[in-house]
Amino acid sequence: MHTHIFVKPSSDSDCVQPDSETVDRNNFVIPQNFAEFYERYPHHVRNFVRRHLFNCSLEEKQDRESELLVFLLTLPEISKYRNSGVNGNPNGCTDRIMTFDPVRSYGSSAARFFSYVNLILLNKFISLEKKTLRNPASRKNNYRILGNDEGSLESASITEDNLVRLSCRTRYLTELECDKVADRVHLSCFLNFIQKHNPELITVLKAMFRSPTFREAQQELKMDERLFHRGRHRLNNLYRCFTTGEVVPRQRRVYRERECRL
């Protein structure tokens, strides 16, 4: 006696499940477990790694492929899919291929199945990449001190030219980072200087930082052109006094525009 599971009709499959094998109208049979999946599609994970992993050696690609294959082959002991009767398996699922549920995926076609497999592979791949970046020994942007630029450890040696080039680049990056820190400190001190003398101009300065042009900054502040230019001129004077140590002059009052008499 066969057990039939009726699936919600979709545009690409109307499926039944005879003897734990789901067949769609295109005669695609979902693999029952990882062994059957690997036997029918031995290069699927390898092609997945090739599409998502760039600028690395063949050994690294093979290692990542092995990690993903082990991921598909295994299933956590506390997983809910290990419960009896899940997805029609009396003893529960033992690998991640068996966790595919055509009912929840609204179909049993090849596109639905491989979409599910690629999704769980991508999640695991991202987790492995983040773990690699957190490890200083395997970080991809590390500097190589070996003289062999091809990435092979054979006949590689530490050369003086490579050390000089590496030290120059390290010094450049260090100086660049120090300049960024100095600029942030300089800007913070200037903001404190403005807060002391003209605190109302801080909003004008921040709007100028956010906007690509002065016209857009003026429109954001909803100021007329005369008052906006007055604020810019005052900021220039404050910055000159901040850098040279001069005494901040008193700001002139805002003159009222004269009305034209006819």
Q: What pLDDT is attached to residue 259?
A: 63
On whether the CB atoms of residues 32 and 118 are closer than 8 A, the answer is no
DSSP 216: H
The pTM of this model reads 0.48
In 3D space, the residue among 207, 203, 202 whose CA is nearest the CA of residue 220 turns out to be 207
Cα four-point dihedral sign 69, 70, 73, 76: negative
DSSP helix/strand/coil, 23: strand
Which residue positions in the chain have pLDDT lower than 50?
A: 1-21, 147-155
Which residues partner with 145 through β-bridges? none
Instruction: Give the pair of three-digit tokens for residue 118.
Output: 């690629």
> Going by C-beta distance under 8 Å and a sequence separation of 6 or more, which residues neighbour residue 62?
none
User: Hey, what long-range contacts does 189-192 have (CB within 8 A, 24 or more apart)?
Assistant: 189/242, 190/239, 190/242
Q: What pLDDT is attached to residue 25?
A: 58
At residue 16, φ and ψ (nearest 5 deg) are -130, 165
Instruction: Give the pair of three-digit tokens for residue 106.
Output: 């609204």
